[in-house]
Amino acid sequence: MHTFMDAKLMAKLLRQALAERSIDITHSDGLELVSRQFGLANWNMLSARIEAAERAMKPLVMPEGWTDGSANHDGYFSIGLDPARPGCAMIQSTPMASHAPASHFGTMSQSVSAEDYKGGAVRLTCELACEHLDGAGTIWLRVDGQRSGALRFDNLLDQPGVPISGTHDWKPFSVALDVPDEAASIHFGFLMRGRGTLWARDFAVEKVAATNEPARRRAYRNERPTNLGFA
């Protein structure tokens, strides 16, 4: 699907399609028509929007030891160190995020060996803040086995009142998971879903006493089959 960032290509394709119907327009006319398709009065306005988007999408510096762990790398999020806030990392939606599916998220993550945490639990803590976030911001923690995939996982998204949204000052976050003997690696980070800006600071990872709780499974949405006739 094309976005406003593809305006010049769209103008070219439009000219070609019209030429096949013996309708000739200039490239400038094509750009003006494409601008109207995006609800703008002229090409100058769309060009300014494209330039602003290109500046906003300039990659941020990724802190050492961290990676962009997003499942999709479609230019929807800018992730890295906030140049205006020393000691803070950020996830910020770009102008392209208006085209992102609701399920898309951006995350900064880190992976470590589980060896030092076996026999106990690992606790992840940090502080998060957000601005004009229309989705949710939270942290996540996962314990993986060598061959069995995720043994434990939590991102706090389904806990009412825990993820932050809107504009929110610094809030402490904490999550802990048991690390069984078959664990091989631990993965953690913070994530943002939606549009806006999310900041993180003061991460800490420590070994704590095991809770011996069974791995938490996603609750069934309904106790039994419901509304099968679409009433």
- How far apart are the C-alpha atoms of 5 and 24, rounded to whole Å? 24
Q: Is residue 46 part of a domain?
A: yes
pTM of the model: 0.70
Same domain, 89 and 152: yes
Based on the structure, what is the number of domains in the chain?
A: 2
**27 plus 45 within the same structural domain:** yes
CB 106 within 8 A of CB 163: no
* pLDDT for 126 beyond 50: yes
> What pLDDT band is residue 49 in, cutting at 50, 70 and 90?
confident
Tokens of 212: 């011996």
| Domain enclosing residue 151, as ranges | 60-208
Domain co-membership, 39 together with 88: no
pLDDT the model gives residue 93:
87
Same domain, 158 and 105: yes
Do 91 and 79 touch, CB atoms closer than 8 A?
Answer: yes
